[in-house]
């Protein structure tokens, strides 16, 4: 686990970009945090790090948006969901099983039981208006390696 602090949306995007550059097919990034904590901002950076040129927006009302970069990016927002049944009624399991793309899920804490054991959990908190604290918690060997690589690529942890 590592904690990183960013002081602007641009810094949060840069951190996401570093994460996106390290992303591999089949990666699953689960984001949690309050409204305005920076989940979409981080996802924009992940997309840029994956070579996505489209502008990434929160898919709150469509639930999932797909972007093409060096890998497909599936960006989901589960804010409006309340049960695991709703998640799978939407066919979400197909995206979980797609080993060719990267799945980034905002509001993953809404249905935590809906995801595989191996994933990278990223908790975003706002200790102040200018700060975002990101706690990266790897679950599984792949994500431990990813966090170690990211840690050496970015500024020192908080």
Tens-place pLDDT, residues 62-95 = 688 999 999 999 999 998 887 888 888 878 888 8
Q: What is the mean pLDDT of residues 25-47?
A: 95
Joined together, the tokens standing for residue 21 give 């550059």
Q: What is the mean pLDDT of residues 137-149?
A: 97
CB–CB of 18/154 below 8 Å?
yes
- What pLDDT does residue 126 have? 94
Which residues, including other chains, have CB under 8 Å from residue 48's CB and lie 6 or more apart? Answer: 13, 16, 17, 20
- Residue 97: CB atoms within 10 A of its CB come to 10
Q: Which of 95, 37, 35 is nearest to 63 (CA)?
A: 95
Joined together, the tokens standing for residue 32 give 């949690």
The model's pTM is 0.92
Q: Which fold has domain 2-140?
A: Rossmann fold (3.40.50)
- What pLDDT does residue 81 have? 85
- What pLDDT does residue 60 have? 62
Residue whose tokens read 């979980």: 96
Sign of the Cα torsion 28, 34, 39, 40 reads positive
């Amino acid at each position: 686990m590592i904690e990183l602090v960013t002081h602007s949306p641009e810094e949060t995007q840069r951190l996401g970009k570093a994460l996106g550059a390290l992303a591999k097919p089949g990666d699953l990034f689960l984001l949690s945090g309050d409204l305005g904590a920076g989940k979409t901002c981080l996802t924009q950076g992940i997309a840029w790090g994956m070579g996505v040129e489209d502008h990434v927006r929160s898919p709150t009302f469509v639930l999932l948006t797909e972007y093409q970069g060096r890998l497909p990016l599936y960006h989901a927002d589960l804010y409006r969901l309340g049960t695991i049944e709703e998640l799978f009624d939407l066919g979400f399991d197909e995206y979980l099983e797609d080993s060719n793309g990267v799945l980034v899920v905002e509001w993953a804490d809404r249905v935590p039981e809906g995801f595989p054991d191996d994933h990278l959990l990223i908790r975003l908190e706002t200790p102040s208006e200018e700060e975002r604290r990101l706690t990266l918690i790897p679950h599984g060997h792949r994500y431990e390696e990813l966090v170690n690589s990211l840690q050496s690529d970015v500024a020192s942890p908080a």
